[in-house]
């Protein structure tokens, strides 16, 4: 049975991985990852500011985290530092991030070096004044380390800085320099500069014998790059076919789905797929877009009545319904359609495809995962879980097609 997974972020990767484990013939189709490439490296199952971290993780989600090289999800929750000086709990983390909880009560050195926009004194002060640090008596101190980067390098983008540490020789030199310090702290906290490849933070920790790691990344930082690298390895090693192109349409033909892409590799003549998992991302990833034609307000469009109320649509043409708060999004709050100011800007994150479980409402063989699901909380582990559920549902449909009874999902 053929399953197409559209989208290369966390949800799509988890779906393709899980579908492949269920022995389906899986094709992963994506141009590039959206929101997942922009993530911070902290892994949550519920949004961290909502103070979640309660339920134990699904064993398949744990298995997926292990399979994905870049991630580290332990039994206890981690605590990571953001570049704006917040110490926040996380269910897991990119393994190059420093887990401050591992050195509770100890001394953490905040590395000061010349990088544009990196202000170690402010960061250390901010981390030290947090409630957690005060409660646990964990200290944060600025430690100046010369020539982590030279003056010219310090002006480069964080991604380029991170790439420099992919070189093992350079990493060894850095470890040697840190080892020379007499006032050795219990852990070293760096900015997001420890490798565009997964595992550089861990490698440095091993060289030094002390926990070393980064703060979280801001959008465009190296955490997303490391996710991309480990995704490609996971899918290729797992025997998933990868097609790098942008999907344009998804059409039903009989019980199958025809997928057409922009690259010419995918055409409607290749027989189609038994099930499709849409993991195309929300507004950040570009899976849901503001409808241009609704924004076009010229006289002709007004006269012909071709304006679409609702204004949002999926970037892939298909028979799915866009909704918010469980209802179809057909509200008109101004002549221009939806007034985002009236809707509330956080609604931007919650607009998506309406589903029942993992099944798109009204399209029984289209399954939906990740940020594109309406009202779905935007977390990495939540996306992984929804990808796995979508794969299970798709596999169950595939078995039904093969004449087996449909298993409960």
Partner 1 sequence: MKVEPASNRGDVDVVVIGGGVNGTGVARDAALRGLRVALFERNDLAFGASGNSSGMIHGGPRYLTYDPDVTYTSCLDSGHIQSIAPHLLFRIPFLMPVRKRLGSKVELFALDAFFDLYDRYQPLKHGKQHVLLDEDDVRRLEPGIVGELEGGVSFDEWGIDGARLCVASAVDAQEHGAEIRTHCTVTELLRGAGGAIAGVRFRDRLTGETGTRNAPVVVNATGAWAPLTTALGAVSSRAARLRPGKGIHVYFDRRLSNYAIVCSAIDGRQVFLEPWQNMSVIGTTDDDYYGDLDDCIATTDEVRYLVQAVERIFPSVRGARAIGTWAGVRPTLFEWGPNEDALSRDHRVVDHAADGMSGLYSMVGGKLASYRLFAEEATDVVASRLGRSSKSTTHTTPLPGGDKELDPLLFAKAHHLEPMAAARLLYRHGTRAQRIMERVKKTPAEGATICPCEPVLEAEVRYAVDCEWAKSVDDVARRTRLGLGACGGMRCAARCGAIVAEMTERSPAEGRGLALEFLDRARRKRAPAVGPEQAREEALSLASLRASLGVKAVTVVE
CA–CA gap between residue 244 and residue 361 (Å, rounded): 28
Q: How far is the CB of 218 from partner 1 (least distance, A)?
A: 6
Query: Residue 126 or 318: which CB sits closer to partner 1?
Result: 126
Phi, psi at 356, each rounded to 5°: -115, 110
Residues 348 and 340: beta-carbon distance below 8 Å: yes
CA–CA gap between residue 115 and residue 144 (Å, rounded): 12
The tokens for 263 are 């690259």
Q: How far is the CB of 311 from partner 1 (least distance, A)?
A: 9
Query: Residue 335 or 402: which CB sits closer to partner 1?
Result: 335
Residues 110 and 142: beta-carbon distance below 8 Å: yes
Q: How far is the CB of 165 from partner 1 (least distance, A)?
A: 22
Q: Which residues have CB under 8 Å from 4's CB, separation 6+?
A: 26, 27, 29, 257, 259, 273, 275, 276, 277
CA–CA gap between residue 250 and residue 227 (Å, rounded): 27
Q: How far is the CB of 34 from partner 1 (least distance, A)?
A: 9
Q: How far is the CB of 39 from partner 1 (least distance, A)?
A: 7
Query: Residue 219 or 239: which CB sits closer to partner 1?
Result: 219
**If you count them, how many residues does the chain have?**
409
234 to each of 1, 72, 75, 181, 229, how far by Cα in Å? Answer: 21, 15, 23, 39, 9
Q: How far is the CB of 59 from partner 1 (least distance, A)?
A: 27
CA–CA gap between residue 82 and residue 191 (Å, rounded): 9
Query: Residue 116 or 232: which CB sits closer to partner 1?
Result: 116
Query: Residue 236 or 296: which CB sits closer to partner 1?
Result: 296
Query: Residue 87 or 366: which CB sits closer to partner 1?
Result: 87
Q: How far is the CB of 176 from partner 1 (least distance, A)?
A: 27
Helix ranges (DSSP H) in 88-189: 120-128, 131-136, 158-164, 168-179
Reduce the secondary structure of 49-92 to three states and give it as a string: HHCCCCCCCCHHHHHHHHHCCCEECCCCCEEEECCCCCEEEECE
Query: Residue 161 or 234: which CB sits closer to partner 1?
Result: 161
Query: Residue 160 or 400: which CB sits closer to partner 1?
Result: 160
Q: Where along the sequence are the contacts to partner 1 (CB under 8 A)?
A: 35, 38-40, 42, 47-50, 82-86, 88, 114, 116-117, 119, 122, 125-126, 129, 216-219, 282-284, 286, 289-292, 295-298, 333-336, 339-349, 378
Q: How far is the CB of 271 from partner 1 (least distance, A)?
A: 34
């Amino acid at each position: 049975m053929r399953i197409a997974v559209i989208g290369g972020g966390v949800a799509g990767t988890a779906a393709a991985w899980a579908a492949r484990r269920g022995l389906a013939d899986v094709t992963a189709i994506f141009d590039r990852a959206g929101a997942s490439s922009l993530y911070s490296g902290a892994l949550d199952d519920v949004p961290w500011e909502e103070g979640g971290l309660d339920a134990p993780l699904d064993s398949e989600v744990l298995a997926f985290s292990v399979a994905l090289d870049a991630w580290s999800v332990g039994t206890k929750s981690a605590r990571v530092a953001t570049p704006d000086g917040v110490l926040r709990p996380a269910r897991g983390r990119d393994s190059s991030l420093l887990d401050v909880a591992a050195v509770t009560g100890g001394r953490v050195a905040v590395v000061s070096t010349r990088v544009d926009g990196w202000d170690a004194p402010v960061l250390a002060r901010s981390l030290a004044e947090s409630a957690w640090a005060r409660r646990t008596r964990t200290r944060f101190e600025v430690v100046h380390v010369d020539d982590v980067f030279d003056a010219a390098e310090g002006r480069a983008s964080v991604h380029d800085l991170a790439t420099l540490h992919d070189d093992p020789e350079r990493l060894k030199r850095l470890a040697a320099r840190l080892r020379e310090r007499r006032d050795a702290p219990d852990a070293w906290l760096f900015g997001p500069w420890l490798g565009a490849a997964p595992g550089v933070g861990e490698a440095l920790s091993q060289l030094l014998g002390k926990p070393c790691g980064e703060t979280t990344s801001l959008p465009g930082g190296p955490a997303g790059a490391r996710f991309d690298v480990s995704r490609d390895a996971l899918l290729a090693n797992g025997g998933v076919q990868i097609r790098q192109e942008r999907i344009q349409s998804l059409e039903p033909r009989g019980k199958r789905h025809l997928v057409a892409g922009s690259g010419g590799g995918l055409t409607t003549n290749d027989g189609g797929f038994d099930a499709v998992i849409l993991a195309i991302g929300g507004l950040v990833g570009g899976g849901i877009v503001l409808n241009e034609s609704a924004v076009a307000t010229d006289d002709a469009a007004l006269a012909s009545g071709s304006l679409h109320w609702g204004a949002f649509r999926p970037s892939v043409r298909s028979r799915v319904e866009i909704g918010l708060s469980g209802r179809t999004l057909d509200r008109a709050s101004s002549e221009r359609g939806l007034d985002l100011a009236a809707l509330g800007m956080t609604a931007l994150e919650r607009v998506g495809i309406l589903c029942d479980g993992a099944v798109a409402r009204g399209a029984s063989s289209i399954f939906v995962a990740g940020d594109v699901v309406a009202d779905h909380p935007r977390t990495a582990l939540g996306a992984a879980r929804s990808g796995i559920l979508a794969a299970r549902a798709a596999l169950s449909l595939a078995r039904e097609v093969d004449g087996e009874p449909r298993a409960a999902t």
